[in-house]
């Protein structure tokens, strides 16, 4: 058995197509079953809720006063 035969044998064993290695290039990853727009709206609403609760806590503690 020569080195070329061994090399050819391993080339045949490890012949992976790109689809097997990388998966389907057209498939979009799903996160919680939502579209990207839905995930953006959810993140934006969580951001707004965080701002509102933080402002309320600052008012309650007295670190910020309303200019009334």
Confidence class for position 50, pLDDT limits 50, 70, 90: very high
- On whether the pTM is more than 0.85, the answer is no
User: Domain coordinates of the chain in residue numbers?
Assistant: 33-68
Query: What is the DSSP code string of the chain?
Result: --HHHHHHHHHHHT---HHHHH--TTPPPPBTTB-HHHHHHHHHHHHHHHHHHHHHHHHHHTSS----
Which pLDDT belongs to residue 28?
Answer: 65
């Amino acid at each position: 058995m020569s080195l070329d035969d061994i090399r050819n044998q391993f080339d045949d064993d490890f012949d992976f197509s790109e689809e097997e290695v990388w998966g389907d290039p057209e498939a979009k990853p799903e996160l919680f079953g939502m579209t990207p727009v839905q995930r953006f709206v959810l993140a934006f609403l969580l951001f707004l809720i965080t701002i509102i609760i933080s402002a309320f806590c600052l008012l309650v503690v007295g670190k910020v006063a309303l200019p009334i």
